[in-house]
Amino acid sequence: MKKADDVEHLIDIDSGQDEDDISLHKSKPTKVSKSKDDAHKELQEQETEDDDDDEPLAIHPRGAEPTGSHRGGQEPPGPDTNSISMPSENNSLRSAHNLEANEGRANGRQTEPTFYIRSRTSTLNTTALKDDVYESLDYDVCDNVLFKEDQKFSDNARFNIRKDILRWIIFIQIGVVTALIACVIDIPIEELSAVKYTFLKNSVDNNVAANINPGGNLVIPYIYWMAMSIVPVVLGAALVTYVEPITAGSGMPQVKSYLNGVKIPRIVRIKTLAVKAVGVVTAVVGGLVGGKEGPMAHAGAVVAAGISQGKSTTFVKDFRIFRAFRDDHEKRDFVLGGAAAGVAAAFGSPIGGMLFSLEEAASFWNQNLIWRTLVASIISSFTLNIVLSAYHGLNNFTFTGLFNLGKFEQPLTFEYFELPIFMLFGVTGGLLGAMWNSYNTHINRFRSRFIKFKFARILEAALVAVIGVTLACVMIFFINDCRPLGNDPTDYPVQLFCEDNEYNAVAALWFQTPEATVRSLFHDPPGSHKILTLTVFTLVYYFLACVTFGLNVSLGIFIPTGLVGAAWGRLVAMIIFYIFPEATFLSPGKYALIGAAANLGGVLRMTISLSVILMETTGVETSFFFPLIVTLISAKWVGDYFTEGIYDIQIKMSCVPLLPWELLPKYKGLKASELMSTPVVCIKKCDSAKYIYKVLRRCKHNGFPVVEDVKGNNRANGRVCGIVLRSQLIVILLNSFYEEKKNFWEKEVSIQTFRNVYPRYPSIDSVRLPNEKENYTVNLDIFMNPSPVRVSQCDSASKIFKKFRALGLRHMIVIDRENRVVGIITRKDFLYK
């Protein structure tokens, strides 16, 4: 890319002209040392959104190359143009220079805001430009006058006790509903899978046995298998692709991003939950390499977000309950509990679910939240236990989760000389996991680059299903692995070319759900498989898992990863026993469990929660915790040396601005003045409705510093007295909360006025400002947050990052010694500078 000089552009918008009559003037070029992201943000300021008849502004600086990505599937601009895209709201507060209304200019007319826009195409970060659709969540409570009045009303022991009781009730409801949804997903999968594999078994037997069907042809079961895989896979992929694309994958990266403070569009909608449930059922029944356990965390998050708000925006129904919890801060805690409840229902592991949400998903947590999350997990696991145990006709509550691995008949013991073997397993799992993550990343990049059409994504899912069926059939047909009936507790024994009272062990691995195969590898007696069988099966499943994860279907990664690990773990034990027959300590089931832990640790990079989940799902003794944790830590250390975990990789590929736990090394040693974006769009404490309306129309920022003691009309250098959010300003304009009409609304307005429209605040397009209201004044005294977080321009980047992340901030105002605005910092300044 050619290096272009920094160019400033001045855009004057005259109120006497039409809104789309914009004149562009070029000012003297200047060189300003700015960061990559700052340059991108200021470039984006040039686009405007107005009424339907308004035209968007396009800037064409000389010597600059196209730098922005293109939204909405539009064609990229030609080589001689620049596409200037509007920044999303989470860029917040960045602006063109001096977005001001210069009252009293030119014949006494009040002119419109003046935009100064700097174009620095040579320093842009292309990652920050890609599909800039993510906003930040407002985890910082708006401590304004209305909120304080509400707190005074509720500042009594009785109300606080009532609110705490409601919190517990919501968490219990989350656990119950999440478990019921898990049952709704699991029961159809089990029933449809039973019908599918029973039919395929009978088809194979009928086409092989000469005395039943002399003209039998094994191509017929192959065609049946393909049809029974393609139809549900295509149905599920079509739902995900055309109805709700956010449901693709496990949903765990999206939930993790949401809990970090990033608003992922449509992640907690009811329609998302419905498509997710149907998509999981169709994908698993279709035989894709995946499981139903991973998406349960996403399903639990959706349930939590819906129940905790006491209303449904999808069905436009407000139950007028739980209004005190209608903000991002409260909603975040419930979503975390929902994710934990989903994991607990999936694995029958309440403690593991709670630890999973804290280790892998949560960015903010406290002691009270741990207790509530644990209760939601326990309730979810217990409810699922009751329902599924009753459904399967069990007298005792032994059906503990969707991922039921069964209990080991003999206690798993180990010798201390086996610890180096477990560590080697961990190293192997870390290497295989890092390699798997790398291959899967390259495949997904290929998909995003070349498979763009929706119909092509559906065809891709069908093609992967066909490849899986074909490879399975080739294995079953060519590998002769016959075993006596009765030794392997398979539900669908296929004789194929075996003798009477024998079954094909290869077919037994494929003619069941993936979790049933994991259960078989854990509990089948020694000698149930040939070394060749497990070797080929491991390679085939490793390949299929790598290709499948990333398709436009709803599937989790836990089952295929654990299955591959269990296969090569059992395989290694068989090989060692073949070489050293006197090694009596070798138990195939034990090493299958260690292999599953190693592979899961290498791909997911979890340690504590994963070891607890494996212990709770298999019922192993607490003494076996040490081998598991040694294996997982070894796998994580080795894997982290090469790549990140698969969830973090997917988040980065989606260009989600996820804040890390520590400040990136390249920013250490910098000051706030080197991180901040400047100038800033500010609003006076008492400002005109016309100016506020024009600001909201001309820029997409989410929040604006409120200033006073303004020198002339230069609001950007005023003294900070608060901050007001974009959503608040829109509600103020919609409800005509003008100072001149204060007598009509002063007694009616409250914090509930803003909570009632949460979370889908109206856009500025829904606001119409009549001419007679343009000169009205908006007094932000009771609406603004009077205590925004401010830092000095001399503060270190490490210090402000810790404060920013610990408080879950969205905006951080940078001030000078006189408390005047000099810049603004948001999460992207810590990532894309």
Domain map of the chain by residue range? 7-134+667-830, 169-391, 416-653
Element (H, E) at 99: strand 97-101
Tens of pLDDT, residues 219-245: 899 999 999 999 999 999 999 999 999
Rounded CA gap, 826 and 320, in Å? 34
Element (H, E) at 543: helix 531-548
Rounded CA gap, 751 and 735, in Å? 13
Q: Residue 750, SS3?
A: coil
32-36, 43-47, 78-82, 632-636: range with highest mean pLDDT: 632-636
| pLDDT for position 434 | 96
Residue 153, Cβ density class (10 Å: 0-12 exposed, 13-18 middle, ≥19 buried): exposed
Q: Is the pLDDT of residue 445 over 70?
A: yes
Rounded CA gap, 769 and 297, in Å? 44
Nearby residues of 622 by Cβ (< 8 Å), 6 or more positions away: 615
| pLDDT for position 215 | 55
Rounded CA gap, 5 and 24, in Å? 19
Place of tokens 């295929």: 560
| pLDDT for position 53 | 34
Structural contact between residues 541 and 533, judged by C-beta atoms closer than 8 angstroms: no
pTM of the model: 0.82
| pLDDT for position 513 | 87
Q: Is the pLDDT of residue 253 over 70?
A: yes
Instruction: Pick the more confident residue, 719 or 55.
Output: 719
| pLDDT for position 212 | 52
Residue 286, Cβ density class (10 Å: 0-12 exposed, 13-18 middle, ≥19 buried): buried
| pLDDT for position 646 | 94
Pairing of strands 262-263, 135-136: antiparallel
Q: Is the pLDDT of residue 768 over 70?
A: yes
Structural contact between residues 254 and 294, judged by C-beta atoms closer than 8 angstroms: no
Tens of pLDDT, residues 111-149: 444 443 333 222 334 343 344 678 888 888 888 899 888
Query: Quick one: CATH architecture of 7-134+667-830?
Result: Roll (3.10)
| pLDDT for position 601 | 95
Fold for the domain defined by 416-653 = Clc chloride channel (1.10.3080)
Tens of pLDDT, residues 740-754: 888 889 888 999 899
| pLDDT for position 471 | 95
What average pLDDT does this structure show over 706-723? 88
Rounded CA gap, 252 and 832, in Å? 24
Residue 273 tokens, joined = 């939950």
| pLDDT for position 412 | 85
Q: What is the largest CA-CA distance in the chain?
A: 104
What average pLDDT does this structure show over 563-572? 95
Q: Which of 74-78, 384-388, 724-728 is least confident?
A: 74-78
Q: Residue 759, SS3?
A: coil
42-56, 158-172, 493-507: range with highest mean pLDDT: 158-172
Element (H, E) at 234: helix 219-238
Q: Is the pLDDT of residue 105 over 70?
A: no
| pLDDT for position 66 | 34
100-104, 126-130, 369-373, 540-544: range with highest mean pLDDT: 540-544
Rounded CA gap, 321 and 166, in Å? 10
Nearby residues of 162 by Cβ (< 8 Å), 6 or more positions away: none
| pLDDT for position 489 | 66
Instruction: Pick the more confident residue, 99 or 346.
Output: 346
Q: Is the pLDDT of residue 340 over 80?
A: yes
Q: Is the pLDDT of residue 161 over 60?
A: yes
What distances in angstroms separate CA 164 from CA 64, 82, 148, 310, 362, one per listed residue?
57, 54, 19, 16, 21
Query: For the chain, how far is it from start to end, CA to CA, in angstroms?
Result: 18
Instruction: Pick the more confident residue, 542 or 135.
Output: 542
| Structural class in CATH, domain 169-391 | mainly alpha
Nearby residues of 139 by Cβ (< 8 Å), 6 or more positions away: 261, 328, 329, 332, 364, 807, 808, 809, 810
Rounded CA gap, 825 and 832, in Å? 12
Tens of pLDDT, residues 496-533: 888 888 888 899 899 988 888 998 899 888 888 899 99
Rounded CA gap, 817 and 794, in Å? 10
Tens of pLDDT, residues 582-599: 887 888 889 999 999 999
Reported confidence tier of residue 209, pLDDT bands at 50, 70, 90 = low
| pLDDT for position 70 | 36
| pLDDT for position 76 | 37
What's the sign of the alpha-carbon dihedral 358, 365, 248, 70? negative
Q: Is the pLDDT of residue 37 over 60?
A: no
Identify the bridge partners of residue 680 per DSSP, sorted by sequence position.
94
Using alpha carbons, select from 262, 137, 454 the residue that is nearest to residue 254.
262
Q: Residue 24, SS3?
A: strand
Tally Cβ neighbours within 10 Å of residue 637: 15
Rounded CA gap, 811 and 827, in Å? 8
Identify the bridge partners of residue 683 per DSSP, sorted by sequence position.
706
What is the helix, strand, coil percentage profile of the chain, to 5? 55, 10, 35
| pLDDT for position 103 | 42
Q: Is the pLDDT of residue 22 over 70?
A: no
Looking at the chain, the whole-number percentage of residues with pLDDT higher than 90 is 51
Element (H, E) at 823: strand 821-825
Q: Is the pLDDT of residue 19 over 70?
A: no
416-653: same fold as 169-391? yes
Residue 459, Cβ density class (10 Å: 0-12 exposed, 13-18 middle, ≥19 buried): middle
| pLDDT for position 635 | 96
Reported confidence tier of residue 216, pLDDT bands at 50, 70, 90 = low
Place of tokens 């073997």: 421
Structural contact between residues 680 and 656, judged by C-beta atoms closer than 8 angstroms: no
Tally Cβ neighbours within 10 Å of residue 531: 12
Residue 85 tokens, joined = 């895209």
Instruction: Pick the more confident residue, 539 or 114.
Output: 539
Mean pLDDT, rounded, of the chain? 81
Rounded CA gap, 832 and 800, in Å? 16
Structural contact between residues 7 and 26, judged by C-beta atoms closer than 8 angstroms: yes
Tens of pLDDT, residues 643-698: 999 999 999 999 999 999 999 999 998 999 999 998 899 999 999 999 999 999 99
Rounded CA gap, 407 and 412, in Å? 11
| pLDDT for position 604 | 93
* Angle at the Cα of 87 from the Cα atoms of 85 and 93, rounded to 5 degrees: 145
